[in-house]
């Protein structure tokens, strides 16, 4: 149980295009999901907190118009990187909170490369 | 301020040897504590967690951790390391309820040699 999936696992795109990353909780409902970014050999950096049915809460320094987050259902949150640039290349990881266990479970991550 | 410190950036142990990864935290409320493991290019897998009760918690893959409130520590241990344990290990602290983001340490990279 407590499986979180992410799609796609890898994506390569051209500069200026938009990329959507999906995060799904497969066997539990998640009212809260979190989006992280991880640079090579570094820890996770929280980007935003996504609450089902409401606007996401962004961390300081994260552009909400560039990183669009939608949490339309209890099992799905999406992160859209708009007008991607090479500096957006990174490893993006989501986590979903299982309210029954008060634990966050992480997706496998999405490797984004912007050319 | 909430923070997690993992003092060791990189640890190398021999296969079969014991392991202890250190974690110290600073948290204003009653902490919920977690250890996650990350293999290269992968997401994070939960090893174990502590919410309350017995301060020695058992996790998956033969790992255990002990919560010591007086030392604000939650060190991860394994009696005999396997080569497959080589990975990055993250300690994290959060609030009860789980609605707030976890605060992560910077991670400890474990290398295992023959």
Task: Give the closest of B32, B101, B104 to A43, CB-based.
Answer: B104
User: In sequence order, what are the residues at sequence separation of 6 or more whose Cβ sits closer than 8 angstroms to the Cβ of residue B67?
Assistant: B33, B50, B55, B56, B57, B73, B74
Query: In chain A, what residues touch B5 (CB-CB under 8 Å)?
Result: none
Strand B108-113 relative to strand B10-14, pairing: parallel
Going by pLDDT thresholds of 50, 70 and 90, the confidence category of residue A1 is: low
The tens digit of pLDDT for each residue in A6-31 reads 999 999 999 999 999 999 999 999 88
Interchain CB contacts (distance < 8 Å): A and B: 56
The tens digit of pLDDT for each residue in B11-69 reads 999 999 999 999 999 987 788 999 999 998 888 999 999 998 999 999 999 999 999 99
The tens digit of pLDDT for each residue in A27-53 reads 999 889 999 999 888 888 999 999 888
Closest CA to A21 of A104, A82, A86: A82
Closest CA to A26 of A111, A90, A112, A94: A94
Q: Inter-chain contact B98–A32, Cβ cutoff 8 Å? A: yes
Residues of A with CB under 8 A from a CB of B: 4, 6, 31-32, 34, 41-44, 46, 49, 91, 93, 95, 97-99, 102-109, 111
SS3 A88: helix
On whether the CB atoms of residues B63 and B45 are closer than 8 A, the answer is no
Cα A21 to Cα A8, B82, B114, distances in angstroms = 6, 34, 39
Tokens of residue A46, six digits: 């929280």
pLDDT of A114 over the 80 cut: yes
Query: In chain A, what residues touch B96 (CB-CB under 8 Å)?
Result: 102
Average pLDDT over residues A87-103: 89
User: In sequence order, what are the residues at sequence separation of 6 or more whose Cβ sits closer than 8 angstroms to the Cβ of residue B85?
Assistant: B19, B61, B78, B110, B112
Distance from CA of B32 to the nearest CA of A (A): 9
- Strand ranges inside A1-107, DSSP E: 4-7, 10-13, 19-25, 32-38, 44-51, 57-58, 67-73, 76-81, 90-98, 103-106
Cα A103 to Cα A76, B41, B77, distances in angstroms = 17, 22, 21
Tokens of residue B45, six digits: 């897998």
Distance from CA of B108 to the nearest CA of A (A): 10
pLDDT of residue A24: 96
């Amino acid at each position: 149980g407590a499986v979180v999936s992410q799609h796609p696992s890898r994506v390569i795109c051209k500069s200026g295009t938009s990329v959507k990353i999906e995060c799904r909780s497969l066997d539990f409902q998640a009212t809260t999901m979190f989006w992280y970014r991880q640079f090579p050999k570094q820890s996770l950096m929280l980007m935003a907190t996504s609450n089902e049915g409401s606007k996401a809460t962004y961390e300081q320094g994260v552009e909400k118009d560039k990183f669009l987050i939608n949490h339309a259902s209890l099992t799905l949150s999406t992160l859209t990187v708009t007008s991607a640039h090479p500096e957006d290349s990174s490893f993006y990881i989501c986590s979903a909170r299982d309210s029954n266990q008060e634990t966050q479970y992480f997706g496998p991550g999405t490797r984004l490369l912007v050319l | 301020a909430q923070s997690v410190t993992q003092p060791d950036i990189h640890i190398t142990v021999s296969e079969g040897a014991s392991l202890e990864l250190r974690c110290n935290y600073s948290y204003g409320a009653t902490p919920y504590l977690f250890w996650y493991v990350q293999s290269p290019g992968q997401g994070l897998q939960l090893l174990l967690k502590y919410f309350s009760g017995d301060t020695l918690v058992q996790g998956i893959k033969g790992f255990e951790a002990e919560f010591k409130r007086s030392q604000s520590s939650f060190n991860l241990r394994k009696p005999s390391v396997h080569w497959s344990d080589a990975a990055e290990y993250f300690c994290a602290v959060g609030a009860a309820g789980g609605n707030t983001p976890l605060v992560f340490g910077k991670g400890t990279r474990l290398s295992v040699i023959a």
